[in-house]
Homo-oligomer: A and B are copies of this chain.
Amino acid sequence: MELYHLRTFVAVAEEKHLTRAAERLFTSQPAISAHIKALEETLGVTLFDRTPKGMRLTPVGEELLPRARQALAAASAVMQHAKGLQDELIGSVRIGLNTDARFLRLTALQAGLAAHYPRLEVAMLTGSTGTNLPAVRVGKLDAAFVTGEIDDPSLSVCFLCDEPLVIGAPASLREQISSTEVAELARLPWVYTSPDCSHFAAMRAIFEAHCCEPTRMLIANQEDALVEMIRAGVGLGIVRAGVFAADEQAYELPVALPSVPLQFVYQRKRENDPLIRAVMHQLCAVWEIAPPDALARQAG
C-alpha cells in the first residue's frame, strides 16, 4: 500500500466517480480503477459498491475513509513541516574566538544570527588561533576567528581586517626603556605568547631580524591574560594597537611592527553548508565586507 492508493481512495470517495476522480488527479480512469482494485485486495475488503451511476462507499469504506484521510494528513504534515524548515537553520553552530568580544563584534554577529535564525543555537567558545585551527579541522568547531596567515588548503579563509600590533610596556618599566632599539628591548623581560599564536610569529620576526633573542618571563596564550601580565609589570609583550589606549598601567612603544590579519576560517568542504553560509552571511554584514564567491553564488 502506498500513498497514491489512499489519495485515489479519498478522491473517488469524494467524487463518487472514477472518471471525475481521474480528472482531479490528472490521470486516466483505468489507472484509478486499478488503484482501487489493488487497495481493496491488499486490505481484503470491499471499499465501494459499483453502481451504474458511479461508486458508492460500502459501510467498510465509510469506516476506513477517515483513517485514510488521517494518513494522508500525516504525510502532508511531514511535507509541510519540511517546507517550514527548509530555509530555517536549526541545531547549533560552534564558533571559536581568539580575542575579546568587542573587537570581534560578537554582539552584532549574535544579533544578526538570532534575528534571522531564531532556532539556531550559537555557541561562541573561547580559545586562541592555535587551538581554534585544529578544532575547525576536526569539526569540533564549525568556524573560528584566527589571526595570521593561514596556509591550509582544507580551510576557507575570510579576511576581516588588519590588526596593527604594538609593543606594550608596563608603566613600571618606563624608566628602564631608554630607547626603542630592538636589541635593547630584548634584554628586558617579555611576556611571551605560545608558538601557535600569531603574535608569536610577529615577535620572532622582529627579533630574528635583529639577531637577538628576548628574555622569556612568562607565556600566556589568552589575550586578556597577556594584557593583564603586561599591566602588572611582568614584562613587555606584543598586543593589538589600542589595547592600552587610555591605560595608566601600560603604554605602547612607538616601534613599527607588521600587522597581522584577523580572519575567519571554516572547512572548505563546508562552503555550501547552509549553516556556514548563514554564519558567513551575517559575518560579512557585520564587518561590511563583500561575501566570498562561494557565498555569493547562491545566497541572496
Chain A interfacial positions (CB closer than 8 Å to B): 1-4, 6, 42-46, 58-60, 63-64, 67-68, 70-71, 73-75, 77-79, 81-83, 85-86, 90-92, 274
Tell me the bound Cα distance from A72 to B1 in angstroms.
11
Hey, which chain B residues are within 8 Å of A85, CB to CB? Answer: 45, 60, 63-64
Within 8 Å by CB of A1, from B67, B73, B75, lies: B75
Hey, which chain B residues are within 8 Å of A64, CB to CB? Answer: 78, 81-82, 85
Given A1-B3, A2-B4, also A78-B86 (CB < 8 A): no
Q: Can you report 25 residue pairs joining A to B where beta carbons are below 8 Å apart? A: A1-B75, A1-B79, A2-B2, A2-B3, A3-B3, A6-B75, A42-B79, A43-B83, A43-B86, A44-B82, A59-B90, A59-B91, A59-B92, A60-B82, A60-B85, A60-B90, A60-B91, A63-B81, A63-B85, A64-B81, A70-B74, A71-B74, A71-B75, A73-B74, A74-B75
Find out whether the CB atom of A71 lies under 8 angstroms from the CB atom of B67: no
Tell me the bound Cα distance from A64 to B88 in angstroms.
13
Hey, which chain B residues are within 8 Å of A81, CB to CB? Answer: 63-64, 67
Hey, which chain B residues are within 8 Å of A45, CB to CB? Answer: 82, 85-86
Hey, which chain B residues are within 8 Å of A75, CB to CB? Answer: 1, 3, 6, 71, 74-75
Within 8 Å by CB of A78, from B1, B58, B90, lies: B1
Within 8 Å by CB of A6, from B6, B43, B78, B90, lies: B78
A81 and chain B: residue at smallest CB distance: B67
A59 and chain B: residue at smallest CB distance: B91
Within 8 Å by CB of A44, from B46, B83, B91, lies: B83
A1-B78, A43-B83, A71-B75 are known; give 4 further A-B pairs, CB within 8 A.
Answer: A44-B83, A63-B90, A67-B78, A67-B81
**Closest beta carbon of chain B to A279's beta carbon, Å:** 15
Hey, which chain B residues are within 8 Å of A6, CB to CB? Answer: 75, 78
Counting chain B CB atoms within 10 Å of each CB, which of A3, A6, A86 scores highest? A3
Q: Which 6 A-B pairs have the closest CB atoms?
A: A59-B91, A43-B82, A71-B74, A44-B86, A74-B74, A71-B75
A75 and chain B: residue at smallest CB distance: B71
**Closest beta carbon of chain B to A201's beta carbon, Å:** 34
Hey, which chain B residues are within 8 Å of A77, CB to CB? Answer: 67, 70-71
